[in-house]
Structure 1
Amino acid sequence: MGLNDIKGRIAAAEQAAGRAPGSVTLIAVSKVQPPARVESVLMAGQRIFGENYVQEAQGKWPDWQARFDGVSLHMIGPLQSNKAKLAVQLFDAIHSLDRMSLARKLAAQIAEQGRAPELFVQVNTGDEPQKAGVLADELPGFLASCREMGLSPQGLMCIPPESGDAVPHFRLLRQLAEDNGLPNLSMGMSADFETAIAEGATHVRVGSAIFGARDYG
Structure 2
Amino acid sequence: MNYLAHLHLAPDDAEARVGNLLGDFMKPANANHLPPGIVAGMALHRQIDRYTDAHPLFRSSKTHIATERRRYAGILVDIFYDHFLARHWEAFADQPLAEFTHQVYAELADRHAMLPLRLQDILPKMTADNWLLHYRELDGIASTLQGFSRNRLTRPNAVADGIDDLIAAYRELDAEFLAFYPQLQAAVVSFLAEQVSAPTSP
| TM-score (normalised: structure 2) | 0.25
Higher helix share: 2
Could you tell me the TM-score, scaled by structure 1's length? 0.24
Instruction: Decide which structure has greater strand share.
Output: 1
